[in-house]
A and B are shown apart, each in its own frame.
Chain A
Amino acid sequence: MIASENRGRVLRRLFRRPLTVIGLFLILANIVMVLFAPVLSPYNPEEMHLKDRHSPPSMKYLLGTDFYGRDILSRIIHGSRISFTLGLSVVAGGLLFGTTLGLVAGYFGGRVDSLLMRVTDIFLAFPQMVFAMAIMSVRGQGFGNVVLALTLTGWTAFARLVRAEALSLRDLEFVQAVQSLGARTPRILFRHLLPNLMAPIIVQATMGMATPILTEAALTFLGIGIPPNVPSWGGMLSVDRDFMETAWWSVTFPGLAIACTVLGFNLFGDGLRDALDPKLRA
């Protein structure tokens, strides 16, 4: 229920910065790849051109081919369907769950806080990789299961961050003011505390985009992530990393794809954080 003039103001400030626009462009480019992958890619991403294995970038294969002679450009475009979507889903899941839990823990404090934070500690105590492997081996390969495994291991960062911030905010007098007005808890949490926590949450979310993309690669490399013929950026890195010196293009371009995506989210996140802060209005 943000006043409409306020929303217009935020949007205007968001688009005024060139870096933010670049970030948004990178994200949009990703979305276009996800939606129109079959139209955009010159080859079938799973088709092996065995005569053209590890051929360098040329007019025929714009970004070269990999160890099995698969077109790298096509695999990057199709890979976005896995990698981009995966990063987004895992961050979104962790954000929703971790933020809510952290808000509740920080706001109520005391026993609620101790209980929720001990649960968080338990999740945090497992190395992420081991925990994800355990889940994957129980539930089997597949995109949904990777999202589940990585979300279950990824939400703790949000919970701890938000809890610490909420703990310091709840004693501010504006929170007491809305309490004394008779506001119910959900309103206090989501209308009053959350907007004041946006800056660290956005930073955490945009920085957190890269981790799931790379962890998925590791899982796939171990054969418990996504079936290896399905193109994903992380998967491409792990298949061809042994040939980094002889066929630099086979790992450089998937790496660039990951970097550009993460960069896009970081730039856009920075802009969003500043646009949402009323104090930074020029």
Chain B
Amino acid sequence: MNQESDVLLEVRDLKKHYVLSKRTVFGRREVLRAVDGISFSLRRGETLGLVGESGCGKTTTGKCIVRLIEPTSGQISLEGEDVVGASPDRIREIRKQMQIIFQDPYSSLNPRMTVGQIVGEPFAIHGICAGKERRQRVEALIDRVGLTRDSYTRFPHEFSGGQRQRVGIARALALNPKLVVCDEPVSALDVSIQAQVLNLMVQLQKESGLTYLFISHGLSAVKHISRRVGVMYLGKLVELGETEALFSSPLHPYTEALMSAIPRPDPDIVRERVLLEGDATDSNHPPSGCPFHARCRYRMAVCENEEPAWRDLGGGHFAACHLR
């Protein structure tokens, strides 16, 4: 498999730092490192899962990629075209290629617009089609995501969470994007509905050759949909690999702890829970050395001082840990 031409999205050393206050009493600037130097690439048609606990920078990463948040530094390129430095006009064009699905289906749809208007908005913004043609295309989209056509004239509040998320998906697909950033698209839904929406997303991916960046804290959803998975901790990627390999033999102690937290529906399996001690370190006071060392049960002296390098440990399975 030739990698180069297959790469759709390339993220290199992406950083997003927030300055919290201009100066503290002691004259130091307080900076929150939401995303602190992460790199990965997405191949055409694949799904990359991005997992990690709350506040680890998953969502910030996703929103930086679609330029809803301006990254502090780093490069993002979509099909070789620079996204970060693009002019406003170029960005408008690039945005047809990449879309985002949001977490909260209640706040992501304008309550004053009908479903037809919401899904038709991308066409209106880019002046693609109007009138009857727009209506036909919107109805086709509504059909595709499994809603009935009479949804066209109805308002978001008349729908359930799962149905609203389908509306959000229809809107994201209107412009035939290549990349869809899914920001916790099923986290706000009931478990029974989660599966339906995930299956819809898989089906749409098959039909249109979509590439997904699937951000979630729900490991089972990520395992179900992703071909590769990246694990984030305090704004950094700590491990990235094929889903199977990562779930069966995690290389990073943090991944190991995450995996052991997945509930298994079989009472006979005796499993060892890896319990993490303490809370995630404050990301505005990042620890020296490995970001995970304070909570790691394999902690060594080197971990406190030296940041582990991000290395390929064979077969495209990356990790940043001194143990390996």
A3 pairs with B117, CB closer than 8 A: yes
CA distance A267 to B121 in the complex (A): 34
Judge if B31 is at the interface, Cβ distance under 8 Å: no
B141 CB, nearest partner CB in chain A, Å: 14
**Given A5-B153, A179-B68, A182-B92; A174-B125 close (CB under 8 Å):** no
Identity of the chain A residue whose Cβ is nearest the Cβ of B96 in the assembled complex: A182
B99 pairs with A181, CB closer than 8 A: yes
CA distance A192 to B117 in the complex (A): 11
Most interface-central of A1, A176, A180, A183 (chain B CB within 10 A): A180
Identity of the chain A residue whose Cβ is nearest the Cβ of B104 in the assembled complex: A173
Judge if B91 is at the interface, Cβ distance under 8 Å: yes
B102 pairs with A176, CB closer than 8 A: yes
Judge if A187 is at the interface, Cβ distance under 8 Å: yes
B155 pairs with A183, CB closer than 8 A: no
Which chain A residues in 243-282 approach chain B with CB under 8 Å?
276, 278-279, 281
**Given A3-B116, A279-B111; A181-B125 close (CB under 8 Å):** yes
Cβ contacts under 8 Å, B117 to chain A = 3
B108 pairs with A182, CB closer than 8 A: no
A194 CB, nearest partner CB in chain B, Å: 9
Identity of the chain B residue whose Cβ is nearest the Cβ of A197 in the assembled complex: B112
Which chain B residues in 193-240 approach chain A with CB under 8 Å?
none
Cβ contacts under 8 Å, B124 to chain A = 1
Give the bracket for the number of chain B residues in contact with chain A: 35 or more
B114 pairs with A181, CB closer than 8 A: no
B92 pairs with A176, CB closer than 8 A: no
**Given A180-B68, A182-B126, A279-B155; A174-B116 close (CB under 8 Å):** no
B121 pairs with A181, CB closer than 8 A: yes
Cβ contacts under 8 Å, A6 to chain B = 114, 153
Identity of the chain B residue whose Cβ is nearest the Cβ of A175 in the assembled complex: B110
Identity of the chain B residue whose Cβ is nearest the Cβ of A176 in the assembled complex: B68
B161 CB, nearest partner CB in chain A, Å: 14
**Chain A interface mostly helix, strand, loop or mixed?**
helix
Judge if B109 is at the interface, Cβ distance under 8 Å: yes
CA distance A163 to B124 in the complex (A): 27
Residue tally, chain A, CB below 8 Å to B: 24
B99 pairs with A180, CB closer than 8 A: yes
B95 pairs with A182, CB closer than 8 A: yes
B66 pairs with A173, CB closer than 8 A: no
B39 CB, nearest partner CB in chain A, Å: 23
B95 pairs with A196, CB closer than 8 A: no
Cβ contacts under 8 Å, B96 to chain A = 182
**Given A180-B66, A180-B68, A278-B155; A195-B112 close (CB under 8 Å):** yes
CA distance A116 to B116 in the complex (A): 36
Judge if B273 is at the interface, Cβ distance under 8 Å: no
Judge if B107 is at the interface, Cβ distance under 8 Å: yes
A-B contact pairs, 16 of them (CB 8 A): A173-B102, A174-B109, A174-B111, A176-B63, A176-B102, A179-B68, A180-B68, A180-B99, A180-B100, A181-B126, A182-B125, A184-B125, A195-B110, A196-B112, A278-B111, A281-B155
Identity of the chain B residue whose Cβ is nearest the Cβ of A179 in the assembled complex: B68
Cβ contacts under 8 Å, B102 to chain A = 173, 176-177
- Chain A, residues 191-210, CB within 8 Å of chain B (1/0): the string is 01001100000000000000
Which chain B residues in 291-315 approach chain A with CB under 8 Å?
none
B110 pairs with A196, CB closer than 8 A: yes
Judge if A122 is at the interface, Cβ distance under 8 Å: no
Which chain B residues in 117-172 approach chain A with CB under 8 Å?
117, 121-122, 124-126, 153, 155, 157, 168, 171
B94 CB, nearest partner CB in chain A, Å: 9
Judge if B60 is at the interface, Cβ distance under 8 Å: no
Judge if B255 is at the interface, Cβ distance under 8 Å: no
Apart from A173-B107, A176-B108, A177-B108, what are 18 other A-B pairs with CB-CB below 8 Å?
A: A3-B114, A5-B153, A173-B108, A174-B108, A174-B110, A174-B111, A176-B68, A180-B100, A181-B121, A181-B126, A181-B171, A182-B92, A182-B95, A182-B96, A182-B126, A183-B121, A278-B111, A279-B111
Cβ contacts under 8 Å, B92 to chain A = 182
CA distance A238 to B102 in the complex (A): 59
Cβ contacts under 8 Å, B153 to chain A = 3, 5-6
A238 CB, nearest partner CB in chain B, Å: 43
Most interface-central of A6, A181, A195, A196 (chain B CB within 10 A): A181
